[in-house]
C-alpha cells in the first residue's frame, strides 16, 4: 500500500521535527514527539489553521516513530477521493497512525463511525493515534457524540502561526544556508505578493534557489517580479 512506503520516498525531508520552527508551539512539538516514540505517551489532537504546520508535525511524528523502530502510517483525509470511511477502516497494522484533516469528514456518518471504531481498536491494541483539524474537537462539526468525546479527551495541542518577524528570520536563515541574501526590500515584496504561511514561503525559496542559480542572478525585486509574473507595487 502507498501508506506503507518509506516516508522519505513520499514527503520532503523538510517535514521533520528538526526543521519545524516552534515559536510558541514548543509544548505541542514535545507532546507529539513523545507520542511518536512511546506507546505509553498520551495521544494528541492537533488544532491549527492552514499554514500553522499541523501536517508538517504529523509527518514528522511518523518519521520519528520509524526512527524509533515503530511502524507508522499517515492518512490525509482531505486529499482522499472515494469512500473515506473505507480508507479509514483500511488503515491497520501500524504502531502509529496519524490522521490529518478530520474536519473534512465532519457530518459524514460512515466516516465518523469508522474513526470511532479505529480509535477503539488502536486503544485496545496499545498503539498510537494522532489527529489534526482546523479547530478543537467540539468546534469542527463532528456529529457523533462518542467520537467528539473521545477526541476531546486527548492532549490538545493548539498551534499558533509564527508572526511576520519570526517568518522573516526563518526565511533569512534558510536562504543564508543556500548562499542567498534576502534583504528587507525583497522580504517586503514577498510578503505583499505571496502567501505568507511558512510552508509555502519555504517552497518558494526552493524555487528561487534553483532559478537564481540557473539565471546567475541575485534575488532582487525585479528578479522576483520576472519569476513570479506579479504586477509591481
pLDDT 10s digits, 170-194? 888 888 888 888 899 999 998 888 8
Q: Are 197 and 142 contained in the same domain?
A: no
Q: Are 138 and 193 contained in the same domain?
A: no
In-domain check, residue 233: no
Domain boundary, last residue among 111, 134, 158: 158
Q: Are 100 and 21 contained in the same domain?
A: yes
Q: Are 81 and 175 contained in the same domain?
A: no
Q: Are 160 and 49 in contact (CB under 8 A)?
A: no
Q: What is the pTM of this model?
A: 0.78
In-domain check, residue 173: yes
Distance of CA 183 to the CA centre of its chain: 28
Reported as a single tens digit per residue, the pLDDT across 80-126 is: 888 999 999 999 889 999 999 999 999 999 999 999 999 999 999 99
Tell me the three cell numbers of residue 209. 534557489
Domain total of the chain: 2
Which CATH number characterizes residue 60's domain?
A: 3.40.50.300
Q: Are 196 and 167 in contact (CB under 8 A)?
A: yes
Please say if the pLDDT value at position 135 is more than 80.
yes
Please say if the pLDDT value at position 232 is more than 70.
no
Q: Are 52 and 76 contained in the same domain?
A: yes
Q: Are 224 and 212 in contact (CB under 8 A)?
A: no
Q: Are 24 and 125 contained in the same domain?
A: yes
CA distance 219 to 227: 10
CA distance 149 to 212: 52
Q: Are 120 and 214 contained in the same domain?
A: no
Q: Are 116 and 26 contained in the same domain?
A: yes
Domain boundary, last residue among 132, 158, 184: 158
In-domain check, residue 20: yes
In-domain check, residue 179: yes
In-domain check, residue 141: yes
Q: Are 106 and 143 in contact (CB under 8 A)?
A: yes
Q: Are 195 and 112 contained in the same domain?
A: no
Q: Are 35 and 58 in contact (CB under 8 A)?
A: no
Q: Are 175 and 218 contained in the same domain?
A: yes
pLDDT at residue 233, rounded to an integer: 41
- Quick one: three-class SS letters along the chain? CHHHCCHHHCCCCCCCHHHCCCCCCHHHHHHHHHHHHCCCCCCEEEECCCCCCHHHHHHHHHHHHHHCCCCEEEEEHHHCCCCHHHHHHCCCCCCEEEEECHHHHCCCHHHHHHHHHHHHHHHHHCCEEEEEECCCHHHCCCCCHHHHHHHHCCEEEECCCCCHHHHHHHHHHHHHHCCCCCCHHHHHHHHHHCCCCHHHHHHHHHHHHHHHHHHCCCCCHHHHHHHHCCCCC
Q: Are 189 and 106 contained in the same domain?
A: no
Q: Are 79 and 21 contained in the same domain?
A: yes
Split at pLDDT 50, 70, 90, the class of 8 is very low
For the chain, give the longest Cα–Cα distance: 59
pLDDT at residue 175, rounded to an integer: 87
Please say if the pLDDT value at position 3 is more than 50.
no
Domain boundary, last residue among 118, 141, 158: 158
Its domain, for residue 25, covers 2-158
Amino acid at each position: 500500500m502507498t501508506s506503507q512506503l518509506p516516508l522519505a520516498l513520499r514527503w520532503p525531508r523538510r517535514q521533520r521535527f528538526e526543521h519545524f520552527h516552534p515559536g510558541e508551539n514548543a509544548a505541542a512539538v514535545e507532546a507529539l514527539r513523545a507520542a511518536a516514540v512511546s506507546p505509553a505517551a498520551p495521544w494528541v489532537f492537533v488544532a491549527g489553521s492552514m499554514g500553522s504546520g499541523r501536517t508538517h508535525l504529523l509527518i514528522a511524528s511518523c518519521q520519528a516513530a520509524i526512527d524509533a523502530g515503530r511502524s507508522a502510517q499517515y492518512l490525509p483525509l482531505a486529499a482522499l477521493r472515494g469512500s473515506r470511511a473505507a480508507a479509514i477502516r483500511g488503515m491497520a497494522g501500524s504502531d502509529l497512525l496519524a490522521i490529518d484533516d478530520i474536519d473534512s469528514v465532519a457530518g459524514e456518518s460512515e466516516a465518523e463511525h469508522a474513526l470511532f471504531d479505529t480509535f477503539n481498536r488502536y486503544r485496545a491494541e496499545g498503539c498510537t493515534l494522532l489527529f489534526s483539524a482546523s479547530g478543537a474537537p467540539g468546534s469542527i462539526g463532528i456529529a457523533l457524540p462518542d467520537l467528539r468525546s473521545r477526541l476531546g479527551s486527548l492532549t490538545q495541542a493548539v498551534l499558533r502561526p509564527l508572526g511576520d518577524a519570526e517568518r522573516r528570520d526563518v526565511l533569512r536563515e534558510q536562504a543564508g544556508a543556500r548562499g542567498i541574501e534576502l534583504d528587507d526590500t525583497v522580504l517586503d515584496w514577498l510578503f505583499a505578493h505571496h502567501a505568507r504561511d511558512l510552508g509555502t514561503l519555504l517552497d518558494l525559496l526552493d524555487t528561487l534557489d534553483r532559478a537564481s542559480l540557473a539565471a546567475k542572478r541575485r534575488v532582487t525585486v525585479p528578479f522576483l517580479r520576472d519569476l513570479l509574473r506579479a504586477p509591481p507595487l
